Structure 1
Amino acid sequence: MNKNNLPLIIAGPTASGKTDVALALAALCGGEILSVDSRQVYKLINVGTAAPKGVWKDGFYKVGGVKYHLVDFLDLNETFDVSRFSATAGKIVSSNPGGKFIFAGGTGMYMQGYFCGMDDLPPADKALRAELASLAEQKGRAYLHSLLASVDAASAAAIPPGNIHRVIRALELYKLTGKPASVLRTGKFCAQLPREKVFAVYLDWEKPELEKRILKRTELIFDPMVKEAELALKLGYAEDCPGLKSLGYREALSYLKGDLSKEKAMERITVLTRQYAKRQRTWFRRYENMKIINPALYKNETEIAEEILLWKER
């Protein structure tokens, strides 16, 4: 693949405007977009996941005529993970060898898995995870972390007790394979994005401005998000189905049941979104070869897209 056809990554925290910049880029270069978002894959919850508004036509989801892959196709009862993303994205790219692809989203683990490769690890075991989660509820997270330390000291040293999901996954791997997770993992998870495979851009708003954008978006999407959650329930989906575990929908459901006021639900969603954005910033700061762009310094998304293309051509 020549330099001009190398894919682009448009990354950044939630509410940073990745979709708009990606669409502007696609319009300028004739590209197509792959959503790198673990939640936009679901049908019925487009508003709450900030999925771009589009239509299905000729077998593709299109936004203003641009093909926008991996959006609005998955049932709420299904699960989607990094392995499935990598496999699906690989098929899409392979189907158009000369295509100009733009990977836009904030799920850093998906980008890492696709561009750096993944370790060959066993899939999740729902029963085992439920057992470990129940143990953590009964005896505390510190206890579960101590169990991990007894069989995998290296993983325990790297994972704080409060990160219950990673603790459970490390214990799960040990119980499924008999080998410590620290031995099974090769380091691909921590590798830099390969310069020879991709150009990567990070949209970096100042923290106060990003928080304003998050608050504004929460105010705009809350009512339609509640309607989406209500429709999902009417269609027979359970409150705890994978799709409705997406950020904000638990609060929307609590509001529907009368357990939270609208103001309190919106406040919680805003706080959770800020916390998520902080985790995303931490993730993407690991990459040394990303072009950092502060969108506030540009007039519009097209100007940002033009700057990105100039940088890529140098």
Structure 2
Amino acid sequence: MFEYFNKPIIITGANASGKTAISLSIAHKIGAEIISADSRQIYKHLSAGTSKPQGRWVNNENPVYIVDMIPYHLVDFIDPKETYNAQRYFYDFNGTLNKIKTKQVIICGGTGFYINSIFNPLDPLPQANEKIRTELKEYADKYGREKLHEKLIEIDPVAAKKIHYNNINRVIRAIEVSIMTSKPYSSLISDNTFKRESYFKAFFVFIKWDKNLLYKRIKERTKNVFDDWVNETKNLILNGYTHDCPGLKSLGYPVIIEYISQSITKDYAIDIITKQSMDYAKRQNTWFNRYPSLKIDINNQKDFDIEKITKDIIEKYESSCNSSSSC
């Protein structure tokens, strides 16, 4: 896949870990383009709640999203009503590679399934069945996410242990596939994460924040964007996007909708979003700990020096290229 390109640099880490800023800094230094691997920033019209990098579309024959003069791919291109998954990401990623004009690529994001899909073959699973999905969504709306998760426990306890009940899209997908194939979803998914040789041809960087620092960072960011997030969500609703469309079911948006309906207070909404974000960050860190990566530990605010981190990553990257002759 990467025959034309130098070894890609992959910047990973939990939400709010500074991946975008670091990726842009490196891109300027080495002349790279960036490909996002973020399951929320793919959506158009969702910016405040997804921390989508601020950019603009350059309208020419091949429109490109530009952030700080750097082409930034696979963001802001999917309608919030559309369902999107790792399989689609894999095909979009390959299509994007054909458009990139530089020899250096940075992959930036915190969605492990997307990153894994690039380097590992995807399991052949049936396409989405809208009838089954609608029935499962209606069941969750009526009885709650935990009750839907109990259905998955009955059908496939192995998958249920790995999928949190709040991750409703994955719960629905697991039940859907199990119903369509008459086999447990877990039996159809290979456990090949990070094991194939091709995976080690990339240079991984894991930005790992101290838990307490990350909590403060997430809460502060949520406070800062909250009003914009509310206005953004109101506009989406006014434009016909319902609470059950995939974009508005992504992290934080259901809480904002509750706040808009005056079911909860602003302070409570901020606390809930911060907790949900921390729960997600914990799962991300668990995932990325399995990478063969350069780990950048941020144990105090002074450690987050973008210039220094950029310099360290580039030096380590060049060293890995020289030692393996693989760049």
TM-score tier after normalising by the smaller chain length:
0.7 to 0.9
For each residue in 1:48-100, what CA deviation from the matched residue of structure 2 results, as whole angstroms up to 9, or x when unmatched?
10011111114111011100011112212112111111111111113337521
In 2, Cα distance between the equivalents of 1:133 and 1:60? 35
Give TM-score, length-normalised by structure 2.
0.85
1:259 aligns with 2:250: no
Count matched residues.
Answer: 307
2:230 to 213, 226, 233: 226
1:144 aligns with 2:151: yes
1:290 aligns with 2:297: no
Give TM-score, length-normalised by structure 1.
0.88
* CA shift in 2, pair 1:142/1:82, >3 Å: closer
Match of 2:239 in 1: 235
Q: Secondary structure at the match of 1:264?
A: helix
Per-residue deviation, 1:134: 6.1
Higher mean Cα deviation, 277-286 or 5-14? 277-286
In 1, Cα distance between the equivalents of 2:33 and 2:221? 25
For each residue in 1:194-222, what CA deviation from the matched residue of structure 2 results, as whole angstroms up to 9, or x when unmatched?
45431111000111111111111111111
Higher mean Cα deviation, 197-206 or 244-253? 244-253
For each residue in 1:248-300, what CA deviation from the matched residue of structure 2 results, as whole angstroms up to 9, or x when unmatched?
1112122222111111111111111111111111111222x111002456462
* CA shift in 2, pair 1:237/1:54, >3 Å: same
Match of 2:87 in 1: 83
In 2, Cα distance between the equivalents of 1:72 and 1:252? 20
The answer to whether the 8 Å contact 1:244/1:250 transfers is yes
In 1, Cα distance between the equivalents of 2:221 and 2:119? 30
Match of 1:313 in 2: 318
Identity between Structure 1 and Structure 2 (%): 36
Higher mean Cα deviation, 132-141 or 304-313? 132-141
In 1, Cα distance between the equivalents of 2:312 and 2:76? 30
1:56 aligns with 2:57: yes
1:202 aligns with 2:201: no
1:249 to 253, 271, 275: 253
Match of 1:152 in 2: none
In 2, Cα distance between the equivalents of 1:43 and 1:123? 23
1:187 to 186, 191, 194: 191
Per-residue deviation, 1:239: 2.2
- Which residue identity does 2:296 align to in structure 1? I
* CA shift in 2, pair 1:40/1:212, >3 Å: same
In 1, Cα distance between the equivalents of 2:149 and 2:107? 38
In 2, Cα distance between the equivalents of 1:247 and 1:21? 23
In 2, Cα distance between the equivalents of 1:143 and 1:299? 42
Task: Give the root-mean-square deviation of aligned CA atoms.
Answer: 2.6
In 1, Cα distance between the equivalents of 2:271 and 2:174? 33
1:99 aligns with 2:103: yes
Per-residue deviation, 1:231: 1.0
Per-residue deviation, 1:159: 3.2
1:301 to 279, 287, 306: 306
In 2, Cα distance between the equivalents of 1:38 and 1:125? 21
- Which residue identity does 2:191 align to in structure 1? G
In 2, Cα distance between the equivalents of 1:43 and 1:255? 22
The answer to whether the 8 Å contact 1:82/1:110 transfers is yes
- Which residue identity does 2:126 align to in structure 1? P
Higher mean Cα deviation, 123-132 or 76-85? 123-132
The answer to whether the 8 Å contact 1:118/1:189 transfers is no
In 2, Cα distance between the equivalents of 1:238 and 1:159? 28
Per-residue deviation, 1:171: 3.8
Q: Secondary structure at the match of 1:313?
A: helix
